[in-house]
Structure 1
Amino acid sequence: MASTPSLTVFYDGACPLCQREIGLLRRLDGRRGRINFEDVSQPDAAPSCSIEREVLMARFHSRLPSGEIVSGARAFTEAWSRIPYFIWLRPIGRFAPTRGALNLIYREFLKIRPGLQRLAARTDSRP
């Protein structure tokens, strides 16, 4: 029996990279139900938070059980730490110096994300 989701992840379901990561998180979470996944990619999507859809799609966001919305490195580490073998990631994402370093890396990743998305889409469309 699945527990009440402790975290909501907002993701771009039209992004091949996002699809892969969310697919992996879903498989690893299995039937535990610790993560609720909300696809905000459709133009008529009505996210269950006050952040605009375009903002949610541009950067990784999660809603904590407290209702706080986090983004970037903290959102990733909160999501991954819900998976049993990755619980050790939570303190890394909450510790300001490591979170800052991870956010710098994430900002650089966001610059190359469009190219990686195109590459992933081409790879996915091959027979």
Structure 2
Amino acid sequence: MYERGKIFTEKDGGRGLVNLVDIADNNYNPEQHCGIDYETAMERIHAILPDGTILTDIEAFRYVYEVLGMGWVYAVTKLPVVGKIANWVYGIWAKFRLSLTGRPDIRTIIAGREADKKCSSDTCNY
């Protein structure tokens, strides 16, 4: 998502149309983001609209691309059959993306995050 985030930031050009949130930041607060906690955010992409509406999956990508003037990228997913297939494919990708990209599973990541929260560098020895 890092590369896509760079593209979004460049296309936004400081207009504030898209606000990317780093869910891995230790200061991330789910309450400031419609209650979406780290695990939920890691399961699939989320977009929170100014009115609080939450979009997920292909609909989230489509919205962001449209707002940034690149709606043509996901326009074909507006067709019902294509949209269903795209969501199905994205669902598979979202479910297996960590293992497919050589990262630990979500439970291991969360356990590590919890250990980091409980431990400061002054008090823990690894």
- Asked if TM exceeds 0.5, the reply is yes
* Higher RCO (C-alpha under 8 Å, 6+ residues apart): 1
Bigger radius of gyration among the two? 2
Give, in angstroms, the shift of residue 105 of structure 1: 1.3
Cα pair distance change 1:90/1:118, threshold 3 Å: closer
Higher helix share: 2
- The residue type equivalent to 2:89 in the other structure is I
Task: Report SS of the residue matched to 1:70.
Answer: strand
Q: Percent identity?
A: 25
> Within the alignment, does 1:76 sit opposite 2:61 as a pair?
yes
Cα pair distance change 1:19/1:90, threshold 3 Å: closer
- The residue type equivalent to 1:104 in the other structure is W
- The residue type equivalent to 2:50 in the other structure is P
For normalisation by structure 1, the TM-score amounts to: 0.64
Cα pair distance change 1:53/1:74, threshold 3 Å: same
CA contact under 8 A between 2:77 and 2:83: conserved in structure 1?
Answer: yes
Give, in angstroms, the shift of residue 82 of structure 1: 1.4
> Within the alignment, does 1:28 sit opposite 2:14 as a pair?
no
Unaligned runs of 5+ in 2: 104-126
Unaligned runs of 5+ in 1: 1-17, 120-127
Q: Deviations over 1:82-123 (max 9, x none)?
A: 122x1345765555433212111102222442245339xxxx
Query: CA-atom RMSD, angstroms?
Result: 2.4
- Alignment correspondent of 1:49: 34
For normalisation by structure 2, the TM-score amounts to: 0.65
Give, in angstroms, the shift of residue 70 of structure 1: 1.1
Cα pair distance change 1:44/1:29, threshold 3 Å: closer
Task: Report SS of the residue matched to 1:36.
Answer: coil
CA contact under 8 A between 1:41 and 1:57: conserved in structure 2?
Answer: no
Task: Report SS of the residue matched to 2:9.
Answer: helix
- The residue type equivalent to 1:30 in the other structure is G
Aligned residues: 101
